[in-house]
Amino acid sequence: MKLTALNISSNVIKYVATNGNGSARHGSISPDGLINNGLILQPDAIANQIKTMFAANSLPKDKVICSINGLPFSYRLFTLPKMEPAAFDEAIIRVIRKEMPISPDEMYLLWQAYPTENKEWQVLVAGITRQPVDNLIKTLSAAGIKPYFLDLQHLSLARLTGETDAIIVECEKDYSNIVMLVGGVPQALHIIPSLGPDAALKDEIRQVAGRLNKMVNFYNTNHPENPIKETSRVLLTGELVNDDIVVELVQQEVEYTVELLPPVDKVVSDMPLHDFAANAGSILMKVALEKEAGKDAAPRRNINLSRIARQLQNAKIASTPNKVIIASVAAFTGIVALAFGFLSQNQVQEEIAQAQEQLAQANAAYGAVRVALDASQSLQEDIDEVEAQVQIINANYASIQNSTDYVSDIAAIVQSVPDGILFTTLEIDADWISICGRAYSSAPVVRFARNLELIGDYSKADIQRIDWANSTVGPSLSFIIMVAK
């Protein structure tokens, strides 16, 4: 089968193409700073570059699997009984709505089930915010390319080894990625932003090794019955491992044996694997789908870009009536606290612009009705509330604009959440993170605070408050945790 795998990052777009004959071609272009934090900033400009690259190298256009390095996502692992596919999909959505910190309606979802004992599935569910995916589809369409699947980079890397217990570390110039496999299941996924273009290689690698050690300690502390095996190996890949010193640097920092990742399939054995690791894993995605096809195949859902593209094309944009201005304001203010956790910096700027536009509309409506309506005071209060929220967004955006680590902060927080915890708000400032949520008891709140101190670059996590929640719906306790960065 003819197939092209694109891996898009801030400083390079890499391709691997195969005609299904066992050989692969590879190459790359530079996006010239038009991609940031997994978001394509200028789809038309990137589209022109990709279109030229495909034409110059005669790359297959009909089936293109894409991955984006640094793409923000959240994930969870759930255990579900085996059931019919339709019932399984419905069960997954119900669990996601209850357990994940953001609504599935605001994400594109993928999941992969892994068999366990007692006729159950352990299911890895990942959610990716919509804007980066929509911009990718717009870019591919403008380049005349038929989108196929979006591949999560960490799952792509996991396909590159046949080992069931291993830690795969991809060291790249913009973001490094860690996948922890235990019993054949990806138990932990982590993104590590680069220290910057001027950082020394030793500092970059030591940062990655430090995060790896925290991940291992966190996992073993929370899974004493099934820790990472001492015989597990750290398998290195990525552009930076072409320097021979990298293996030695990582080995100095970790307790496990450190080696370069060997090729697992002949399809990718005749190419520089470490330079094109994510692409190689995406090529193997199709191989894995063909092998797993059948009645007893493990349930999975991929992010089908072609289906999403059709949905976006058929969607109609409806104007918002003046009657629902107040409702729109309420909906907007409800998502402010989570915006910084799941949107890139460019998306946050777009939210600011949208908020300012809503504010202008609300002010116009107020001017028209304030004389005739007794409820004008209520409308003015809503306007004031939006103004306050815009100021908060601007202040927070300015504080994190120069930081590339907030995506890693969110990944660390999500990874630290024990069972029984539900987020309500999450606020990030330059020096602290405030987490508000609900819990069934105080025990998981204390465990959550301890977890936060074990993983990520947090010096201290203080529980500011635990008390009975006002509402009887959902968990009965509410809490606030302040985390010093």
Instruction: Name the CA dihedral angle for 152, 339, 406, 71, rounded to a multiple of 10 degrees.
Output: 20
pLDDT at 358 over 80: no
Verify that 331 and 355 share a domain, yes or no: yes
Output the CA torsion sign for 239, 240, 245, 247.
negative
Residue 170 confidence (pLDDT):
97
Residue 368 confidence (pLDDT):
53
User: For residues 452 and 462, is the Cβ–Cβ distance under 8 A?
Assistant: no
Q: Determine how β-strand 257-260 pairs with β-strand 300-301.
A: unpaired
Classify burial at 120, counting beta carbons within 10 Å of its beta carbon; exposed 0-12, middle 13-18, buried 19 or more. middle
Could you give the CA distance from residue 220 to residue 227 in angstroms, rounded to a whole number? 5
Question: Distance from first CA to last CA of the chain, Å, rounded?
Answer: 49
Single out the residue in 380, 400, 420 at which a domain terminates.
Answer: 400
Mean pLDDT for 155-164 is 93
pLDDT band at 335 (very low <50, low <70, confident <90, very high): very low
Verify that 215 and 354 share a domain, yes or no: no
Could you give the CA distance from residue 474 to residue 99 in angstroms, rounded to a whole number? 11
Instruction: Name the CA dihedral angle for 139, 137, 72, 443, rounded to a multiple of 10 degrees.
Output: 170
Could you give the CA distance from residue 108 to residue 123 in angstroms, rounded to a whole number? 16
Residue 345 confidence (pLDDT):
41
Task: Quote the crossing angle between the two packed helices 43-57 and 130-142, to the nearest 10°.
Answer: 50
| Closest residue by Cα to residue 415 from 223, 271, 266, 256 | 223
User: For residues 220 and 235, is the Cβ–Cβ distance under 8 A?
Assistant: no
Three-state SS letters, 13-55: EEEEEECCCCCEEEEEECCCCCEECCEECCHHHHHHHHHHHHH
Query: How many helices and strands, by DSSP H and E, does the chain display?
Result: 13, 21
Could you give the CA distance from residue 29 to residue 271 in angstroms, rounded to a whole number? 17
| CATH code of 275's domain | 3.30.420.380
Verify that 138 and 58 share a domain, yes or no: yes
Residue 347 confidence (pLDDT):
46
| Closest residue by Cα to residue 189 from 199, 198, 176 | 176
pTM for the structure as a whole:
0.67
Verify that 77 and 166 share a domain, yes or no: no
Following DSSP, what letter does each residue of 209-246 receive, concatenated? Answer: HHHHHHHHHHHHHH-TTSPPPTT-EEEEESGGGGSTHH
Could you give the CA distance from residue 300 to residue 201 in angstroms, rounded to a whole number? 38
Verify that 118 and 150 share a domain, yes or no: yes
Could you give the CA distance from residue 69 to residue 189 in angstroms, rounded to a whole number? 13
pLDDT tens-digit map of 454-464: 776 667 888 88
Residue 187 confidence (pLDDT):
94
Residue 402 confidence (pLDDT):
46
Verify that 185 and 276 share a domain, yes or no: no
Classify burial at 306, counting beta carbons within 10 Å of its beta carbon; exposed 0-12, middle 13-18, buried 19 or more. middle
Verify that 326 and 298 share a domain, yes or no: no
pLDDT at 319 over 50: no
169-190 b/e with 16+ CB inside 10 Å = b? Answer: bbbbbbbbbbbbbbeebbbbbb
Taking all residues of the chain, what is their mean pLDDT, rounded to a whole number? 80
Single out the residue in 400, 429, 450 at which a domain terminates.
Answer: 400
* Strand (E) or helix (H) holding 382: helix 376-400
Most confident option among 211-215, 260-264, 430-434: 211-215
Q: Please list the residues that pair with 342 across neighbouring strands.
A: none
Residue 398 confidence (pLDDT):
53
Verify that 89 and 36 share a domain, yes or no: yes
Verify that 137 and 10 share a domain, yes or no: yes
Verify that 40 and 54 share a domain, yes or no: yes
Verify that 190 and 334 share a domain, yes or no: no
The number of domains in the chain is: 4
- Looking at 35-165, list the stretches that DSSP marks H as alpha helix, in order from N- to C-terminal side: 43-57, 85-99, 130-142, 153-158
Which tops the pLDDT comparison, 394 or 53? 53
| CATH code of 454's domain | 3.30.1360.100
Could you give the CA distance from residue 184 to residue 165 in angstroms, rounded to a whole number? 6
Query: 62 lies in which domain range?
Result: 1-159+266-315
- The whole-angstrom distance between residue 341's C-alpha and the CA centroid of its chain comes to 10
Could you give the CA distance from residue 363 to residue 325 in angstroms, rounded to a whole number? 10
User: For residues 41 and 32, is the Cβ–Cβ distance under 8 A?
Assistant: no
Verify that 103 and 113 share a domain, yes or no: yes
pLDDT tens-digit map of 301-314: 899 998 998 888 87
Could you give the CA distance from residue 298 to residue 289 in angstroms, rounded to a whole number? 10
Residue 406 confidence (pLDDT):
64
pLDDT band at 202 (very low <50, low <70, confident <90, very high): very high
Q: Which region among 12-16, 87-91, 417-421 has the lowest average model confidence (pLDDT)? A: 417-421
Single out the residue in 359, 383, 400 at which a domain terminates.
Answer: 400
